[in-house]
Homo-oligomer: A and B are copies of this chain.
Amino acid sequence: MTTSIPTPWTAEQFEAKLREKEKCYHIFHPFHIAMNSGQCTKAQIQGWVLNRFYYQIMIPMKDGAVLSNMPDKEHRRLWVQRIIDHDGIEGDGDNCDSGGIEAWIALAGAVGLRREDVLSLKRVVPGTRFAVDAYVNFARTAPWQEAVCSSLTELFAPTIHQKRLDSWPEHYPWIDASGYQYFRKRLSEARRDVDHGLRVTLEHFKTRAEQERALDILQFKLNVLWSMLDSIHVSYGIGESQSGAIARMHP
């Protein structure tokens, strides 16, 4: 008896399989659907912004963990840009960038939160922490190519940012328009990051078993984003009828 080893997918097939994972993206989470269709209260929008901030601040630490495992200078030169995108850089004119974390704090201000309420992390719900920490731990301990692969949820990010830019001003006229800079900023950055992440992934995962492992890794990262919304959903509810949900979270 022989065991047949499945043929690897071609690069095009493999990329298509990765892109098919979009169906598990958090854009389809009930809380996110509600948020993008105008059903959230101000407190629920604020809750999402506050909680998502924990993800924002952990991402450059996650990217530092990836760098710490990355022996190739050429890859590091590309990867370090992600940290700069989040943390910003001092400079003159076009070189100056206050960074994604500051842009997120501006979003927080635009939805009516005080800077210190965001920075304190006091209202970050535990499930958000557990999910984000799982992602950082993965990046610390996995081979760097696997950590790169896990970043490929960025394949789906431009759509989610564009949809926010399209729908939020209409649904939530009370949000100051200056807050949307983060979403605009990520539209181009995510596209650039995907080119690198996709190249590494298509080159590294060669056998069918490896390619299937890559899909599992991408699913893990999709699960991180999804689970964050689970806890936000239960803590804050959706709409006026559930606006007391948070009281049960903090009895």
Contact = CB atoms under 8 A, between A and B. Distances in A.
A131 B126 contact: yes
A188 B141 CA distance: 39
Q: How many copies does the complex hold?
A: 2
Nearest to A251: B23
A231 to B, nearest CB: 4
A43 interface: no
A128 to B, nearest CB: 9
Interface stretch (A149-157, A207-215, A221-229): A221-229
A168 to B, nearest CB: 22
A174 interface: no
A227 B130 contact: yes
A126 B227 contact: yes
A248 B30 contact: yes
Interface in A206-251: 220, 223-224, 226-227, 229-231, 233-235, 245, 248-251
A230 B248 CA distance: 12
A178 interface: no
A137 interface: yes
A245 B226 CA distance: 14
29 contacts: A28-B248, A28-B251, A29-B248, A30-B245, A30-B248, A126-B131, A126-B220, A126-B224, A126-B226, A126-B227, A127-B127, A127-B131, A127-B226, A127-B230, A127-B231, A130-B130, A130-B133, A130-B134, A130-B223, A130-B224, A130-B227, A133-B134, A133-B137, A137-B137, A227-B231, A229-B234, A230-B231, A230-B234, A231-B231
Given A125-B227, A130-B134, 5 more contacts: A126-B131, A129-B134, A130-B131, A130-B133, A133-B134
